[in-house]
Amino acid sequence: MRWQNMYVSGTGAWLPPAVSARSAVDSGEYDPEQFEADGLLSVRVAPDDVAPPDMAVQAVTTALKRSGVSPEDVPLLVHSYIYFQGIEGWPVASYVANHAVGTRVTAVELKQECNAGLAGLELAAHRLESAAPGTSAVLSTADRFGAPLMRRWRQEQGIVYGDGAAAVVLSNQRGFAKLVSTATVSNNSLEAVVRGKGFEPLPQGEQETLSERVGHYIQKHGSLREATERLVAVVGEAIDTALTDAGTDRQGLAWTVIPATGRSKMEWQVQKMLGVTEERTTWEFARRAGHLGAADQFAGLNDLAETGALRVGDKVLLVGSGSGFTCTCAVLEIVEEPDWQAAGGPGTEVGP
């Protein structure tokens, strides 16, 4: 899908202090062999008294301030997450909207696992396409992965989960980055890979890790080879479609914002699936933040903006992926260097 008059006008992130991967190895939380294979330096870990909705409020507040958009011009907020938000059976999106935007904003929650951030961006663009000029939407995502139900260092091979929130403001009139294209491709048969042992009548206190769920699939099907081939096909189609619709190719990309994984997954993803060099990705940010659930893409873009990496004319590919399996990709073109890129700008601080 190629877009006209659609822009990212602001980004924001709230990231708590970092905990080193080496210290997790020393404490026995992180497997030493996985540590050596993945090259992760640290992950962000939030204190127990900071709930994801409050993280999201901080990220949205920063993004709105940077965008210059008035809350009165925001009719829609889409909040996404993959884990517990502090209260069960509670409208978390309404909380984020009320505290960061306003009482009259339509607030919805989007669940599509780790692809939800970019999926929300694409859905919001469809909403803004028919709205009056000068209308904006806010996309937020936040998570905190707490023990003992979520073992962040051992939940999934090749991935360590980090806490944090990120947000973007999407406008149909102006912004620092033009949304050139998006593409979403799905293969819903791949939900079986992470289904695990089956349905339960009620929530269980002791949850299987993702690695254990995948183990059930391997037991039944013998290997992951065929499922992996289907997954690669989904990602490849989404990337190719987004790039073609944007009128560019992999060689024309200045940056690629990638899902935050360890090197054991990242090298294969970057070289085989994406076909770009590691140096032109957000790997250095990812290896210090950890996998932020659905926030990897917004947080990675925010980091590029804050560190002054973006130049006018740069094309940036954002790659999302969520078990199920769905992949959304977006191509941005930088039309104005963000004026918050200097260190110490609004929202660059970390921690509560």
- Position 175 scores a pLDDT of 98
* Torsion on CA atoms 198, 199, 204, 207, rounded to nearest 10: 30
224 or 295, greater pLDDT? 295
Domains in the chain: ranges and CATH: 7-174 (3.40.47.10), 179-334 (3.40.47.10)
Q: What is the pLDDT of residues 121-160, one digit of tens each?
A: 999 999 999 999 999 999 999 999 987 778 899 998 999 9
28 Ramachandran zone, left/alpha/beta (phi>0; psi -120 to 50): left
Q: How far is residue 181 CA from its own chain's centroid? A: 18
8 Å CB contact between 239 and 329: yes
Per the rule left: phi > 0, alpha: psi between -120 and 50, beta: everything else, 80 is beta
**100-121 confidence digits (pLDDT tens):** 999 999 999 999 999 999 999 9
Torsions phi, psi for 346 (to 5 deg): -55, 130
Task: Give pLDDT, residue 11.
Answer: 98
pTM of this structure: 0.94
Q: Check pLDDT > 60 for residue 325.
A: yes
Residues 6+ apart with CB under 8 A from 261: 38, 158, 159, 269, 286, 291
Start-to-end Cα distance in the chain: 39
Question: What's the pLDDT score for residue 303?
Answer: 98
**What is the C-alpha separation between 168 and 130, in angstroms, rounded?**
20
Residue 272 binned pLDDT confidence (cut-offs 50, 70, 90): confident
- Please, what's the largest Cα pairwise distance for the chain? 56
Q: In the chain, pLDDT over 70 holds for what percent of residues?
A: 96
Mean pLDDT of the chain, nearest integer: 93
pLDDT in tens, 158-214: 999 999 999 999 999 999 999 999 999 999 999 999 999 889 898 777 678 888 999
Residue pair 96/138 in contact by the 8 Å Cβ criterion:
no
Residue 139 is predicted with a pLDDT of 99
How confident is the model over 61-89, as pLDDT tens digits?
999 999 999 999 999 999 999 999 999 99
List the one residue out of 258, 268, 275 whose CA is nearest residue 319.
Answer: 258
Task: Answer yes or no: is pLDDT of 350 > 60.
Answer: no
